[in-house]
Amino acid sequence: MAKKGMLLVGHGSKLPYNKDLVETTAKLIAEKTDEYIVRTGFMSLNTPTVQEQLEAFRKEKIEMLVVVPLFLARGVHIEKDIPAILGLPEGARAGTFHMNGKDVPLVYASPIGSDPLLAELMLKNAAEAIDELER
């Protein structure tokens, strides 16, 4: 049975932390559900690139491709660069992913943005910092 593909897109960095975060998040998603084949791609400085992973997905048996940017806020990569790589017009959230011999729906998700879960994470991080100071 065909699954959905999820391409988790990270910015990339000279330091290892961004790549580690994106790859760990992809593993956590894959462990949470078997609905997706999860891959990671980076905009710059790290590999594999977004383009390389799009090519890899062309060989998978997927019924849909969801591209999820692991970015906090909208910026040039979210609004212009990633849509251009995906072949989407600026502002479009959906299109078609051309695979070997067939087309499947392509969906472009929003960045994390302002979400109550993000506020919870910040409160958790603040509590951990205070706990470390008090030890």
Residues designated as active site: 11
Distance between CA atoms of 38 and 28, rounded to whole angstroms? 10
Distance between CA atoms of 20 and 77, rounded to whole angstroms? 20
Distance between CA atoms of 20 and 25, rounded to whole angstroms? 8
Distance between CA atoms of 99 and 103, rounded to whole angstroms? 6
